[in-house]
């Protein structure tokens, strides 16, 4: 949950919540029906959202091995599921909590950064056309965090296809 | 063309199983801290580690490091089995079928979520037959076992055991830098016994990690 909201529940032993604090809670609660609506839409159109993005990606990166493209598309699906959840609970930092440093390191290890960044851009474009401006605005902070996670991909010396057995 | 629907046939998309906010939980009304599979976890106070080190040193003198290393090997053997079981259950595939990068990232995340510090596998010397595991913010090396000696005996044992099982080779492990001696991180070198053995004298003489590695690979 959004850390500001979560903090409201931390110290009931100290005092009752003040009007401005209850306002924060009310604002979130009144936004929940819209958030659930967007969430449902994202859930029900997962394949329809990503398939055109995957097709465009494959055209643009025809020289890239299919295994890399598939991994990238899986990253895209994963990010969108986490972004949808982050939108639902109004906490873009949800992505960082769960996927930092895992996602940037996976991106680096499998060398998918260029494809991932292109996919992210195409996905954002696609969502901005399938969602209303107001709906997209709810999802957008989480997508920004996802973009920042990709930018944090470190350089790595892990051989990506190195098998586990026989590494020495 | 790639079918997105085909990428969604598995039970779940590959993700970060060991993310701390889902991995560490508990049945706290029963006083149990648990991982997401329900295996019990313990929060060990730092001072308890310190007292184990002090107790061992007082009872066994210089053998304390050896005892801790053996404990680490025992721990590593069990940890490896449990880690692989958890990971393969989650990923729905045998650990041997996972790419090294994915396996190591999971180990890093597992290490981090248990509060054992930041682990990183350095493969710079991989072609020479050595792996270097770097660990920052380790809770196990804060307290010295013997003055002026690396204090990661427990981790040396766990890593030796873990990587021996992983690689299917009988590896030795040696700590070549230690946070307790002012280094920026703990470094543990893994390699075959006969190739790594000469490093013992260099560690004993207090040589820096880089110098030890240079000598090891020029053997």
pLDDT (tens digit per residue) in A90-121: 999 999 999 998 999 999 988 899 999 999 99
Nearest residue in B to A53, CA atom: B4
Domain count of the fold of chain A: 1
CA pair distance A25, A90, nearest whole angstrom: 11
- For chain A, 168 residues long, give each residue's pLDDT as a single digit of tens: 888 898 999 999 999 999 999 999 999 999 999 999 999 999 999 999 999 999 999 999 999 999 999 999 999 999 999 999 999 999 999 999 999 989 999 999 888 999 999 999 999 999 999 999 999 999 999 999 999 999 888 766 555 455 555 555
pLDDT (tens digit per residue) in B85-104: 999 999 888 988 888 888 99
Quick check: A81 and B5 CB within 8 A?
no
Quick check: B102 and A106 CB within 8 A?
yes
For chain B, give every domain's residue range: 44-217
Identify the pLDDT of residue A156.
60
pLDDT (tens digit per residue) in B162-187: 999 999 999 999 999 999 999 999 99
Q: Looking at this predicted complex, what is its ipTM?
A: 0.87
User: Is A159 inside a domain boundary?
Assistant: no
Nearest to A55 among B1, B96, B129 (CB): B1
Q: Which residues of A touch B (CB under 8 A)?
A: 46-47, 50-51, 54-55, 58, 66, 69-70, 73-74, 77-78, 81, 97-99, 101-103, 105-106, 109-110, 156-168
Q: Which domain holds residue A127?
A: 3-8+31-150
**ω before A101 within 30° of 0 (cis)?**
yes
CATH code assigned at A96: 1.10.490.20
**For all residues of chain B together, what is the average pLDDT?**
94
How many CB atoms within 10 Å of residue B188? 25
CA pair distance B163, B168, nearest whole angstrom: 8
Q: Mean pLDDT over residues B143-168, rounded? A: 94
Nearest residue in A to B105, CA atom: A102
Residues of A in Cβ contact (< 8 Å) with B19: 97-99, 102
CA pair distance A156, A101, nearest whole angstrom: 13
Question: Which site among B1, B5, B6, B7 would you substitute to test the A interface, given the most A Cβ atoms closer than 10 Å to its Cβ?
Answer: B7
CATH of domain B44-217: 3.30.1380.20
User: Is A157 inside a domain boundary?
Assistant: no
């Amino acid at each position: 949950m959004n850390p500001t909201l979560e903090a409201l529940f931390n110290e009931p032993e100290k005092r009752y919540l003040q009007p401005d604090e209850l306002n924060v809670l009310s604002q979130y609660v009144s936004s929940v029906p819209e958030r659930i609506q967007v969430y449902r839409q994202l859930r029900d159109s997962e394949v329809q959202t990503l398939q055109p993005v995957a097709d465009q990606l494959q055209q643009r990166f025809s020289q890239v091995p299919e295994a890399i493209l598939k991994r990238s598309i899986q990253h895209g699906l994963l990010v969108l599921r986490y972004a949808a959840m982050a939108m639902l609970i109004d906490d873009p930092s949800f992505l960082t909590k769960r996927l930092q440093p895992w996602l940037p390191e996976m991106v680096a290890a499998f060398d998918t950064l260029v494809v991932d960044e292109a996919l992210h851009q195409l996905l954002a474009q696609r969502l901005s056309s399938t969602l209303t401006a107001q709906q997209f605005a709810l999802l957008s902070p989480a997508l920004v965090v996802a973009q920042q996670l990709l930018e944090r991909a470190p350089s790595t010396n892990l051989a990506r296809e190195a098998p586990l057995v026989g590494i020495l | 063309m790639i079918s997105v629907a085909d990428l969604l046939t598995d039970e779940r998309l590959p993700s970060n199983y060991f993310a701390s906010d889902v991995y560490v939980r508990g049945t706290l009304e029963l006083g149990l801290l648990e991982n997401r599979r329900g295996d019990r976890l313990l929060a060990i106070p730092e001072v308890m580690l310190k007292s184990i080190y002090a107790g061992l040193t007082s009872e066994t003198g210089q053998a304390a490091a050896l005892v801790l290393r053996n404990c680490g090997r025992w721990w590593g053997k069990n940890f490896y089995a449990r880690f692989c079981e958890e990971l393969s259950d989650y990923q729905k595939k045998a650990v041997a079928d996972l790419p090294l990068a994915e396996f190591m990232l999971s180990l890093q995340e597992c290490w981090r979520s248990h509060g054992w510090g930041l682990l990183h596998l350095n493969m710079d010397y991989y072609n020479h037959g050595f792996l270097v595991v770097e660990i920052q913010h380790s809770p196990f090396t804060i307290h010295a076992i013997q003055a002026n000696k690396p204090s990661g005996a427990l981790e040396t044992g766990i890593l030796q055991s873990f990587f021996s099982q992983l690689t299917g080779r009988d590896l030795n492990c040696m700590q070549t830098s230690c946070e307790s001696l002012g280094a920026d991180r703990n470094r543990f070198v893994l390699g075959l016994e006969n190739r790594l053995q000469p490093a013992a004298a260099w560690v004993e003489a207090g040589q820096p990690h880089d110098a030890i590695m240079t000598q090891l690979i020029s053997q």
